[in-house]
């Protein structure tokens, strides 16, 4: 059995105690030797090809470090071209058989998968804390929001139900959707479970096989999900995982046997993948960056609003594509800012497995540096630094990539800290006098992922809903990500492609329509003349 061949220790890393300060800290030469030894002995993440976890023959390996400690967790391969071809060939062969399975068979696999994910939610979440840094509770949410897509896939028979109409005497047209064949998924680091789960369960449920490329910065959750998928009965070759970065992505964009690409990540990578994939005739769905604005109206419930903003701006260290990273204070609500800052100050920054922690580290030292640079750019351009989380040191985790909650107020739209997606625990605050000004500001921003208004007025909420040009709107709800009966509906600069992730649209992305028109004449045996006209009844 595949499951008994897959040793958990090859895939999972148990939570380790915080690293003690090494004696080499003050001796750079010794540090280098220690680092080289660590690298030589570090675990190597395997590819998953044709149902087997296999070590790559790569000559380039990417170091993956715990963002709270810098402990070297493992090495991720830059998968070779030969291995990428093996994964695609396995997927191609498997797709030919898998498409013949019945919808009910695939539904049963999804049911078993959803059960196994629920059973293993905590283990996957622990891995996410180590590799990605978010808090354990938040990591469980990461798994849970992906699990909901698997639950949606369990209703496959009704979702894939076709249509049929009698269109002329004895003639029927029926329509149904067929799988595409081999598809691919390319994932970002910030939701290592949820975003792969947006992709492979629906793709597989629809009868495709898939080549997944998780983020090279935290592939562990996807590896655990692959093991569970195999246990749930996903046949060999239907789900494959390859690791790497740019070369691996370019292979996926260029390989003709891969018919469609699901991508979630930054603008730069997404625009490249969308353009290159499309140029090669592929269907591409790409969710990109964001700058989500909250509008606070003077009639809002102050306490509930400030709590919602603090949670949505600083939760997951601001590394959510739906984080409320920008707040527009309408009229007198700018006077609420000191209270917001006080609430943010009380959030505890620390290691994700510490139950007291509210804000974990950001993903890499480079990311921390970029965030701190953007905060400073705001100060230099005239914003007021209401709360400064830079330079924070967390006891026992002195090497972690921590940035504390930070608030810049009096921000203007031309400032770099407003124009750039900061992707860290930094809230930028702008002031306006009216709702119309707030709407204009948001509609002028290139992104359209999510937005939220806080008000006690139904008419104001209604006007906002109608006037705002953003895909996902929250009313007194800070992160309005729809559950899977709907789709994830970011808009404008936050999305490329026409078919959204999950929901009916997600299933349509992974399938193509076919119509069949059939004529079985009653009494055909007596039929002696050919008809040359189009049917009129
Ligand atoms: P990223 O673009 O750096 O990486 C995403 C994937 O693209 C990775 O698998 C990576 O290997 C690959 N990649 C990176 N650079 C590439 C390049 N130059 N050429 C080809 N491939 C490349 O994104 P990230 O930092 O991992 O994730 C954060 C970003 O993702 C943020 O911008 C965030 O807003 C966005 N995001 C968007 C959504 C959404 O639904 N809109 C959801 C989550 C994250």
Query: How far apart, in whole angstroms, are the C-alpha atoms of residue 214 and residue 148?
Result: 19
Render each residue's pLDDT in the chain as its tens digit; 537 residues.
333 333 433 444 433 333 333 333 333 444 455 556 667 788 999 999 999 999 999 999 999 999 999 999 999 999 999 999 999 999 999 999 999 999 999 999 999 999 999 999 999 999 999 999 999 999 999 999 999 999 999 999 999 999 999 999 999 999 999 999 999 999 999 999 999 999 999 999 999 999 999 999 999 999 999 999 999 999 999 999 999 999 999 999 999 999 999 999 999 999 999 999 999 999 999 999 999 999 999 999 999 999 999 999 999 999 999 999 999 999 999 999 999 999 999 999 999 999 999 999 999 999 999 999 999 999 999 999 999 999 999 999 999 999 999 999 999 999 999 999 999 999 999 999 999 999 999 999 999 999 999 999 999 999 999 999 999 999 999 989 999 999 999 999 999 999 999 999 999 999 999 999 999 998 776 656 777 888 776
Q: Among 188, 215, 222, which residue has the most ligand 1 atoms within 8 Å of its CB, making it the best to mutate?
A: 188
Residue listed under structure tokens 């809230």: 427
**pTM over cut 0.85:** yes
Q: Report the atom number in ligand 1 closest to the C-alpha of 287.
A: 41
Is the C-beta atom of 215 inside 6 A of ligand 1?
A: yes
Is the C-beta atom of 272 inside 6 A of ligand 1?
A: yes
Residue 58 structure tokens? 């790569």
Q: Report the atom number in ligand 1 closest to the C-alpha of 495.
A: 41
Q: Which residues of 272-289 are buried (b: 16+ CB within 10 A; e: fewer)?
A: bbbebbbeeebbbbbbbb
What single-letter DSSP state applies at residue 125?
Answer: H
289 C-alpha to center of ligand 1: Å?
8
What single-letter DSSP state applies at residue 359?
Answer: B
CA 228 to chain CA centroid, nearest Å: 19
Is the C-beta atom of 286 inside 6 A of ligand 1?
A: no
Tally helices (H) and strands (E) across the chain. 19, 23
348 C-alpha to center of ligand 1: Å?
27
Residue listed under structure tokens 């069949």: 516
- Residue 10 — φ and ψ, nearest 5°? -80, -20
Cβ 211 vs Cβ 196: under 8 Å: no
């Amino acid at each position: 059995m595949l499951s008994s061949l897959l040793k958990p220790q090859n895939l999972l890393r148990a939570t380790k105690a915080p690293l003690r300060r090494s004696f080499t800290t003050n001796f750079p030469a010794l540090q280098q030797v220690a680092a080289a030894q660590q690298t030589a002995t570090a675990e190597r993440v395997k590819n998953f090809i044709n149902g087997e976890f296999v070590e790559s023959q790569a000559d380039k390996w990417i170091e993956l470090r715990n963002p709270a400690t810098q402990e070297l967790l493992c090495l991720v391969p830059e998968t070779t071209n030969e291995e990428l071809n093996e994964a695609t060939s396995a997927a191609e062969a498997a797709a030919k058989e898998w498409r013949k399975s019945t919808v009910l068979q695939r539904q049963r696999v999804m049911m078993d998968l959803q059960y196994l994910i629920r059973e293993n939610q905590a283990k996957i979440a622990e891995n996410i804390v180590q590799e990605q840094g978010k808090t354990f509770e938040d990591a469980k949410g990461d798994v849970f929001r992906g699990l909901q897509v698997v639950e949606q896939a369990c209703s496959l028979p009704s979702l894939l139900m076709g249509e049929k109409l009698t269109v002329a005497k004895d003639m029927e047209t029926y329509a149904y959707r067929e799988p595409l064949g081999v598809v691919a998924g390319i994932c970002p680091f910030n939701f290592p479970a949820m975003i792969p789960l947006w992709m492979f369960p629906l793709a597989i449920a629809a009868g495709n096989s898939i080549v997944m490329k998780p983020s090279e910065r935290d592939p562990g959750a996807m590896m655990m999900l692959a093991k569970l998928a195999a246990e749930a009965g996903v046949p060999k070759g239907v789900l494959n995982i390859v690791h790497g970065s740019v070369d691996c992505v370019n292979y996926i964009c260029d390989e003709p046997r891969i018919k469609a690409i699901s991508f979630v990540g930054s603008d730069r990578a997404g625009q490249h993948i969308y353009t290159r994939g499309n140029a090669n005739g592929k269907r591409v769905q790409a969710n990109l960056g964001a700058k989500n604005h909250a509008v606070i109206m003077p009639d809002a419930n102050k306490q509930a609003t400030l709590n919602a903003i603090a949670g949505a701006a600083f939760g997951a260290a601001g590394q959510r594509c739906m984080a409320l990273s920008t707040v527009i204070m309408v009229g007198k609500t700018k006077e609420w800012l000191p209270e917001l800052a006080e609430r943010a100050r009380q959030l505890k920054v620390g290691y994700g497995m510490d139950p007291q922690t509210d804000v974990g580290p950001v993903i890499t030292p480079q990311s921390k540096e970029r965030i701190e640079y953007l905060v400073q750019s705001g100060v230099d351009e005239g914003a007021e630094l209401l709360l400064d989380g830079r330079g924070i040191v967390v006891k026992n985790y002195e090497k972690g990539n921590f940035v504390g909650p930070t608030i810049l107020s009096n921000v203007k739209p031309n400032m770099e800290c407003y124009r750039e997606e900061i992707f860290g625990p930094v809230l930028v605050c702008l002031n306006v006098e009216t709702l119309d000004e707030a709407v204009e500001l948001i509609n002028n921003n290139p992104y359209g992922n999510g937005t939220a208004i806080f008000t006690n007025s139904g008419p104001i909420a209604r006007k906002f809903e109608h006037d705002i040009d953003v895909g996902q709107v929250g009313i007194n709800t800070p992160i309005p990500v729809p559950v899977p009966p709907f789709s994830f509906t970011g808009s404008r600069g936050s999305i490329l492609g026409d078919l959204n992730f999950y929901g009916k649209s997600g299933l349509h992305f992974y399938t193509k329509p076919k119509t069949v028109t059939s004529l079985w004449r009653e009494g055909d045996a007596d039929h002696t003349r050919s008809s040359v006209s189009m049917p009129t009844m």
